[in-house]
């Protein structure tokens, strides 16, 4: 069993103030994979004090030095990709192929990209007789979920380091070990003491203490909309900056001229990846009524072709959900969909004997879904996709936008110009045209209750600095 009994504070492995621990469960077989310390407000105080003490020096470090350190961190992350991937397989259930490429591989590339963005902190804008300069915002509390634990952590850590901020990390207690590995990596790369600190624990204890701490200047949170709203309220007490990337119920609009097989293949695979535990999963698919039957048949075939199984097996495409609670939640939504009158074309929770110890749910396709059904309104966060027919493009756009969320969308069409025109009408932070790939240098974030602010690229850096105007005397004055 993997056991960690210390936090990373001020460049050292520090003994917790309390003695309570948290078990980390392997979702593939429900066994105890490891154990971590359960932090307290006192541990948060120590981590924040270290970050505050380190800030004056780190924020004034030349950008070339910060850039070089970020690049060194990225290189050490790349060296440990196989180990990181195996860790995330065990703690999160992500299949090894997906974990290697996305869960462990992508974060190192994101980290490396911010070695370049660091130099944007040197930018000075001249506005008449004033200089506008950029300065690091201060101590940042970074709170991340369990679905893409290292990737979502690095999208916060990298720009914070680039801007010159110091950091206190609160990873998910469900998937904490990858964050400890990142702490080992930054320490080995030579990051100064106190710049990055790590405390594990529950949100009600560690998370709330971090959000309410008067010496924390900014909170960046990724997770559920309900918790994001609570964090926004806590941040209002001392008017700290709060950047939240929250839930989604993203839509795909398939146009009449689209390749139905390609559209359904791309969309079903995207939704089912990571067992559907993706904030911008395109889980509502609007299809022309004239092509609806073909779309349902294609979606069914793709879903049934995906290999569900042990995530440590190279052949596996769909692993377990992260926990028993998450499995029960998803099965509850599937039951609700059937109760509301949707047609379950394939899927559900009836697994073969060898998979019943883990938290598995089959890739599930619902047809004959109405946009007002619960399964079309609420974020399921599991391998469930809803197919909804439409008669006109205006109707499809209206239904796609009829959601409290606005994180992502996609449009499928043989005519790229037509697809772009429709994408401009969709209320979403990012829109994918056909099989367009994710771009780690483009801004990521949502509209409405999917959050505020942006991550990744230049816009991601902006969340971590303040603007200062320096007004110079003029001859007329």
Active site residues: 245
The span from the CA of 83 to the CA of 86, in Å, is: 5
The span from the CA of 453 to the CA of 156, in Å, is: 12
Closest CA to 346 of 377, 368, 324, 367: 367
Tell me the CA distances in angstroms from 153 to 175, 182, 438, one per residue in order. 12, 9, 17
**Contacts with 289 (C-beta within 8 Å, 6 or more apart), sequence order:** 389, 390, 391
Neighbouring-strand partners of residue 435? none
CB-side neighbour CA atoms (13 Å) of 73? 31
Place of tokens 């105890």: 32
Are 472 and 431 contacting, i.e. CB atoms less than 8 angstroms apart? no
The span from the CA of 272 to the CA of 89, in Å, is: 16
Are 257 and 412 contacting, i.e. CB atoms less than 8 angstroms apart? no
For 167, list phi and psi in degrees, rounded to 5.
-135, 140
Q: If 0-12 CB within 10 Å is exposed, 13-18 middle and 19+ buried, where does residue 299 land?
A: buried
């Amino acid at each position: 069993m993997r056991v960690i009994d210390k936090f990373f504070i001020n460049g050292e492995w520090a003994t917790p103030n309390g003695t309570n621990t948290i078990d980390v469960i392997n979702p593939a077989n429900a066994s105890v994979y490891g154990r971590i310390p359960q932090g307290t407000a006192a541990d948060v105080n120590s981590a924040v004090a270290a970050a505050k003490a380190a800030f004056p020096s780190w924020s004034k470090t030349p950008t070339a030095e910060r850039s070089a350190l970020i690049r060194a961190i990225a290189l050490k992350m790349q060296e440990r990709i196989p180990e990181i991937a195996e860790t995330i397989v065990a703690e999160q259930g992500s299949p090894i192929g997906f974990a290697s490429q996305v869960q462990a591989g992508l974060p190192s590339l994101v980290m490396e990209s911010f070695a370049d963005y660091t130099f944007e902190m040197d930018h000075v804008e001249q506005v008449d007789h004033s200089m506008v300069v950029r300065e690091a915002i201060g101590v940042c509390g970074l709170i991340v979920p369990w679905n893409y634990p290292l990737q979502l952590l690095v999208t916060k850590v990298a720009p914070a380091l680039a801007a010159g901020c110091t950091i206190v990390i609160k990873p998910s207690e469900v998937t904490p070990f990858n964050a400890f590995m990142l702490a080992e990596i930054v320490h080995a790369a030579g990051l100064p003491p106190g710049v990055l600190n790590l405390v594990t624990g529950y949100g009600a204890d560690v998370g709330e203490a971090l959000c309410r701490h008067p010496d924390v200047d900014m909170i960046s949170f990724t997770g559920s909309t309900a918790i994001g709203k609570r964090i926004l309220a806590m941040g209002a007490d001392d008017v700290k900056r709060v950047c939240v990337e929250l839930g989604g119920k993203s839509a795909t609009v398939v146009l009449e001229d689209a390749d139905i097989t390609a559209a359904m293949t791309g969309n079903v695979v995207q939704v089912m990846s990571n067992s559907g535990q993706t904030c911008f999963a395109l889980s509502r698919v609007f299809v022309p009524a004239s092509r609806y039957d073909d779309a349902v048949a294609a979606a069914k075939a793709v879903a049934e072709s995906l290999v569900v199984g042990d995530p440590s097996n190279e052949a596996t495409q769909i692993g377990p959900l992260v926990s028993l609670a998450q499995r029960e939640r998803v099965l509850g939504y599937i039951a609700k969909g059937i109760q509301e009158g949707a047609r379950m074309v394939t899927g559900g929770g009836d697994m073969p004997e060898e998979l019943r110890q883990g938290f598995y749910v089959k890739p599930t396709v619902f047809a004959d879904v109405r946009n007002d059904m619960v399964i079309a309104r609420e974020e399921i966060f599991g391998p469930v996709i809803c197919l909804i027919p439409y008669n006109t493009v205006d109707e499809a756009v209206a239904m796609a936008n009829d959601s409290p969320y606005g994180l992502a969308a996609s449009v499928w069409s043989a005519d790229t110009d037509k697809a772009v025109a429709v994408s401009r009408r969709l209320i979403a932070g990012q829109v994918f045209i056909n099989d367009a790939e994710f771009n780690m240098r483009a801004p990521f974030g949502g509209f409405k209750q999917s959050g505020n602010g942006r991550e990744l690229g230049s816009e991601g850096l902006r969340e971590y600095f303040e603007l200062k105007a320096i007004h110079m005397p003029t001859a007329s004055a």
